[in-house]
Amino acid sequence: MRPAIKIGILAMVMIARLHAAGSRKAAMADITGAFEANSGVAVRRNFKQSRLLRQRIGQRESTDIFASTNNASLANLADRTTP
């Protein structure tokens, strides 16, 4: 993996955190693979049931992308995070 940004002799490695439903694993592998290849940003993938991922994100687990197959999980999370 090549660093996305080089700063002098130090390199900053950028990582995107993906939480996605297990049923979307194959599709997300294609998407994230292409993203990594084109951006230089690594993707840390976490596949589980949408409900479990929503709970973890709701408890403030860091995530950049949440791909759910359950619209209720998305709506519930949006309701909890909207000021």
What CA–CA distances, in Å, run from 10 to 4, 16, 39, 42, 80? Answer: 12, 20, 19, 17, 38
Summarize the confidence of residues 62-71 as an average pLDDT: 81
Residue 82 has pLDDT above 70, yes or no: no
Q: Which pLDDT score is estimated for 64?
A: 86
pTM, rounded to two decimals = 0.68
Distance CA 46, CA 3 (A): 22
CATH code reported for the domain at 5-81: 3.40.190.10
Domain ranges (residues) in the chain:
5-81
Asked if 63 contacts 57 with a C-beta cutoff of 8 angstroms, the reply is yes
Encoded tokens for 72: 């209720």
Q: What is the pLDDT of residues 1-58, one digit of tens each?
A: 444 444 444 445 588 899 998 888 999 999 999 999 988 889 999 999 888 888 888 8
| Residue closest to 36 by CA, chosen among 11, 8, 4, 60 | 4
